[in-house]
Structure 1
Amino acid sequence: MSAAAQARRLQPAGELDIVVLEQGPKISYSACGIPYWIGGQVSDPDRLLARTPADFAEQDIAVRTGTRAEGIDLAVGEVVAAGGERIGYDSLVVATGGRPFRPPVPGLDADGVHGVHRLADGADIRAAIAAGAERAVVLGGGYIGLEMAEVLQARGLEVTVVLADPLPMAQLDADMGQRVCAAMCGMGIDVQSDQPVREIEVGPEGAVRAVRTDAAAYDADLVVLGLGMGPETTLAREAGLQLGSTGAIDVAHTQRSRSHPEVLAAGDCAQTFHRITGEAIHVALGTHANKQGRVAGSVIGGRPARFAGVLGTAMTKVGDLEVARTGLCTTQAEEGGYDFRTEVIESSTRAGYYPGAAPIAVKIITEAGSGLLLGAQVVGGPGSGKRIDVFATAIWAGLTAEELAGSDLSYAPPFSPTYDPVVVAARVASRIEQG
């Protein structure tokens, strides 16, 4: 929808017809808000809707909900809709999004097993809770896994998080992931790590009753999948669009398909590149999707535009603990061939004497020799997470730790110590580099 809106801004209705096909009943909704609707922090699912088909109709953008695209005929420039209808195009945007990972284990299609991908998923989980679900197992410890563990516990369920990885938040380094795990256990969430799921046990009525690993079976009447997202490329692959090394649609920086330039792709179905390493990467985040859609719409509308890459900046929370990261973690830095250093500092979110001050840990990754900022991770109490944006901005601009340490960040006791943890981490890194 960001592509459609941007194209319309640049081209009036008389010069460009825009048609959107959406297989579901809703458009322009915040999938990231679904856990908080399940948890009750958002009272009405309509509050997750940014715009409706009627809103787009006022811009002469025809949105056809409940209309599934069944195929793309690249040779003649047509989309084949359900029922055999063929819709011609001069430019086509493929924005089919992501597909939740589903491990090939028995019982995964049982009643009571839910993803957290669409509004209908949220409605199903809310209905299960209302029907008396008491024990929930969350598979996966990424952003969605943490958020769902928190909201389900807040709704009164006993929650077990089962991980194939050693720690939750595999996007972090192990020392920072351990802090997240400790906080979850401190909340009363049962975290079971290094246990790939082998089976979803199903009762006689066809409903889930347990999750089995090699180590144990965990009782459940509700199972939530938080295993991450891959690109949804079925339409693209069957049509013959070129896919990249990540399995997503291979696009140039203009979001044009490298094999068929009249087709553009944006969002979770499209391959992108890392801002630091330049390597192909697939990152399923709404921030990138909207920006890529805007680039695609600009290109269609006749305005030159290029997507500038990603750092993978993201954040979440579980209980009062805020978790954020940007740039390269140490594994990515090693794979990228960097000679790097890491430093971890501990501080407080506010002046220590001010009410509400909470611990915060900051990890910073820099290139040895140059001091160039490569990545950062933040784990701490309320007020911690958004500090990652300072690091993201500094990395985007190509700053060194020394330059960041000398930057003019704000201070007031309700918001930070005299030296903000961001500055402290950068200063420690730059001092060690100078030494």
Structure 2
Amino acid sequence: MAARRLVVIGGDAAGMSAASQARRFKGPDELEIVAFERGHFTSYSACGIPYWVGGSVEGPDALIARTPEEHRERAIDLRMRTEVTEIDLDRQRVRTRDLAAPGATDAWTGFDDLVIATGARPIRPPLPGIDAPGVYGVQNLDDGQALLDALRAVEGGEQPRAVVVGAGYIGVEMAEALVQRGYRVTVVDQAEQPMSTLDPDMGRLVYEAMCGLGIETVREAKVTEIRTDGEGRACAVVTDDAEHPADIVVLGLGVRPETTLARRAGLPLGESGGLLTDLSMRVRGQDNVWAGGDCVEVLDLVSGRTRHIALGTHANKHGQVIGAGVGGGYATFPGVVGTAVSKVCDLEIARTGLLEQQARSAGLQFVTATIESTSRAGYYPGARPMTVKMLAERRTGRLLGVQIVGREGAGKRVDIAAVALTAGMTVEQMTALDLGYAPPFSPVWDPVLVAARKATAQVARDVEHTAGGR
């Protein structure tokens, strides 16, 4: 009997995790694996690019988990610089183009099982000058190398200027990287506060801290143009009411699911444009088509809705689940609670669960509690301040979300809340959690538990007020 053929579109986290896991289940005699990657690298950490650019880590080799050669040693036929241009579901085949051989004819490759792991594409609005030299994105390792080369070419004289467009995770991380390289940095964003992944009151703390770090942060500013000089190179970012000079412009506007192929093939997409799958990461309505990584939407365990979250942690898990399914095993990806953590210089920023607006959109009623505490016992050297905000459902007290902004020791505390959300705990139940304590690590009451206590009191007052109103 001929071996089944698995075709994988995309050679990064989800795609190659799926291929590797499937190979663990079945050998080459049972399963042929062919993977197509249009870029120059496989299995790399895009999340590490800002830290490579900033000089905190080596790259690009240090950011690569497995090279193409290492995948091929595991009997995976990995074809680099090969782009999939069409998915033919009726005939179970994909059309490919060899990008390294211009003029080469397209080829068709049949499949028994198909994995779509096409990732996400950076948001790049159609502005005048957006494609000019001197404007850079940071989506892949090629982007990181191009930006580094440009930064090195500019450095050496008067303090250079960089403008970052967008103040989300990518934007603030790139702002840090540029500060570390000695640039005078301006961040321009159209939102009320930086980090729209936080509520505005918590985003304001990020704004104040960024200004304190010497990063000029321009809020509620719509970019209208990337101005170019006489040589056609970017020299300024123009907004409705100002112009910000720049030697380098970095785009940090976020990403959208890359599902062009899936859409053309008629596969089901969600509100954000991501592929919809079942718990086994099989595309809905398909028996032999799977999808994972930044091109899919996943179930939010708190709101009960699907959402798009582009994170390498999820992508690797998706790949493990897909590989098990293709290989004849069984695994599921139950969903996420929306946990993310980042930093800009020494400011740590974290969130999990729902923001206020997300909770309202889901039809949930809630109370909030915000507290200020420290990372260690107040009397212990090095104690740093942090602010914790907690959302809890009215009446039930079910934890809905947590946001944390603070200095060293703040960010990873969000994991406590992530576990509590996954377990469906109430804020009152959280107050009894047996967390580790010693003065070098925490106050007697950990800041997350202090917030839970305050939220518990808020829920109780709300219940009493409602009962009294009757």
Give the shorter-chain TM-score range.
over 0.9
Of the structure 1 ranges 390-399 and 239-248, higher mean CA displacement relative to structure 2 is found in 239-248
- CA shift, 1:109, in A, is 0.2
The residue that corresponds to 2:426 in the other structure is 400
The residue that corresponds to 2:102 in the other structure is none
The residue that corresponds to 2:317 in the other structure is 291
- Superposition misfits of 4+ residues, deviation over 3 angstroms: none
- CA shift, 1:245, in A, is 2.4
Residue type of the alignment partner of 1:104: P
The counterpart of 2:396, out of the listed 370, 385, 392, is 370
The residue that corresponds to 1:12 in the other structure is 27
The residue that corresponds to 2:75 in the other structure is 60
Of the structure 1 ranges 197-206 and 90-99, higher mean CA displacement relative to structure 2 is found in 197-206
The residue that corresponds to 1:346 in the other structure is 372
Write the distance in 1 (CA, Å) between the matches of 2:325 and 2:204. Answer: 44
- CA shift, 1:433, in A, is 2.3
Write the distance in 1 (CA, Å) between the matches of 2:220 and 2:455. Answer: 33
Write the distance in 1 (CA, Å) between the matches of 2:326 and 2:206. Answer: 44
Residue type of the alignment partner of 2:294: D
TM-score by structure 2 length? 0.91
The counterpart of 1:110, out of the listed 132, 140, 144, is 132
The residue that corresponds to 1:214 in the other structure is 240
- CA shift, 1:63, in A, is 1.3
Task: Tell me, yes or no, if the aligned pair for 2:206 and 2:405 is still in contact at 8 Å.
Answer: yes
The residue that corresponds to 1:101 in the other structure is 123
The residue that corresponds to 2:108 in the other structure is 86
The residue that corresponds to 1:320 in the other structure is 346
- State percent identity of aligned pairs: 52
Cα deviations across residues 250-299 of structure 1 (Å, max 9, x unaligned)? 22222112243321111111122211121121111111111112111111
Task: Tell me, yes or no, if the aligned pair for 1:315 and 1:325 is still in contact at 8 Å.
Answer: yes
Residue type of the alignment partner of 1:263: V
The residue that corresponds to 2:91 in the other structure is 76
Give matches, 1:191-206, under 5 Å.
191-206=217-232
The residue that corresponds to 2:326 in the other structure is 300
Task: Tell me, yes or no, if the aligned pair for 1:323 and 1:378 is still in contact at 8 Å.
Answer: yes
Task: Tell me, yes or no, if the aligned pair for 1:92 and 1:264 is still in contact at 8 Å.
Answer: yes
Give matches, 1:207-286, under 5 Å.
207-286=233-312
Q: 1:176 aligns to what SS in structure 2?
A: helix
Q: 1:169 aligns to what SS in structure 2?
A: coil
Write the distance in 2 (CA, Å) between the matches of 1:148 and 1:88. Answer: 41
The counterpart of 2:386, out of the listed 353, 360, 368, is 360
Write the distance in 2 (CA, Å) between the matches of 1:73 and 1:124. Answer: 35
Cα deviations across residues 211-234 of structure 1 (Å, max 9, x unaligned)? 101010100121111100101111
Write the distance in 2 (CA, Å) between the matches of 1:309 and 1:126. Answer: 36
Write the distance in 1 (CA, Å) between the matches of 2:286 and 2:136. Answer: 36
Cα deviations across residues 165-201 of structure 1 (Å, max 9, x unaligned)? 1110001011110000000000110001111110010
The counterpart of 1:421, out of the listed 447, 451, 454, is 447
The residue that corresponds to 2:437 in the other structure is 411
- CA shift, 1:9, in A, is 1.4
Cα deviations across residues 141-186 of structure 1 (Å, max 9, x unaligned)? 1111000001101101111000011110001011110000000000
Task: Tell me, yes or no, if the aligned pair for 1:372 and 1:398 is still in contact at 8 Å.
Answer: yes
Of the structure 1 ranges 292-301 and 207-216, higher mean CA displacement relative to structure 2 is found in 292-301
Write the distance in 2 (CA, Å) between the matches of 1:129 and 1:260. Answer: 47
Write the distance in 2 (CA, Å) between the matches of 1:242 and 1:420. Answer: 44
Q: 1:72 aligns to what SS in structure 2?
A: strand
Residue type of the alignment partner of 1:110: A
Task: Tell me, yes or no, if the aligned pair for 1:112 and 1:222 is still in contact at 8 Å.
Answer: yes
Write the distance in 1 (CA, Å) between the matches of 2:76 and 2:144. Answer: 28
- CA shift, 1:241, in A, is 2.0
- CA shift, 1:303, in A, is 1.6
- What runs of 5+ residues in structure 1 fail to find an aligned partner? none
TM-score by structure 1 length? 0.98
Q: Note if 1:129 corresponds to 2:151.
A: yes
The residue that corresponds to 2:46 in the other structure is 31
**How much is the aligned-residue C-alpha RMSD, in angstroms?**
1.1
Cα deviations across residues 53-111 of structure 1 (Å, max 9, x unaligned)? 22222221121111111211111111111131111110000100001001121110000
Q: 2:227 aligns to what SS in structure 1?
A: strand
Write the distance in 2 (CA, Å) between the matches of 1:263 and 1:282. Answer: 19
Q: 1:268 aligns to what SS in structure 2?
A: coil
Give matches, 1:179-198, under 5 Å.
179-198=205-224
Task: Tell me, yes or no, if the aligned pair for 1:207 and 1:221 is still in contact at 8 Å.
Answer: no
Residue type of the alignment partner of 2:115: V
Residue type of the alignment partner of 1:23: R
Residue type of the alignment partner of 2:22: A
Residue type of the alignment partner of 1:119: L
Residue type of the alignment partner of 1:268: D
Task: Tell me, yes or no, if the aligned pair for 2:367 and 2:458 is still in contact at 8 Å.
Answer: no
- CA shift, 1:431, in A, is 2.6
Q: 1:267 aligns to what SS in structure 2?
A: coil
Write the distance in 1 (CA, Å) between the matches of 2:336 and 2:241. Answer: 38
Write the distance in 2 (CA, Å) between the matches of 1:183 and 1:245. Answer: 34
Write the distance in 2 (CA, Å) between the matches of 1:100 and 1:271. Answer: 16
Residue type of the alignment partner of 1:135: R
Write the distance in 1 (CA, Å) between the matches of 2:126 and 2:154. Answer: 28
- CA shift, 1:413, in A, is 1.1
Write the distance in 2 (CA, Å) between the matches of 1:44 and 1:53. Answer: 17
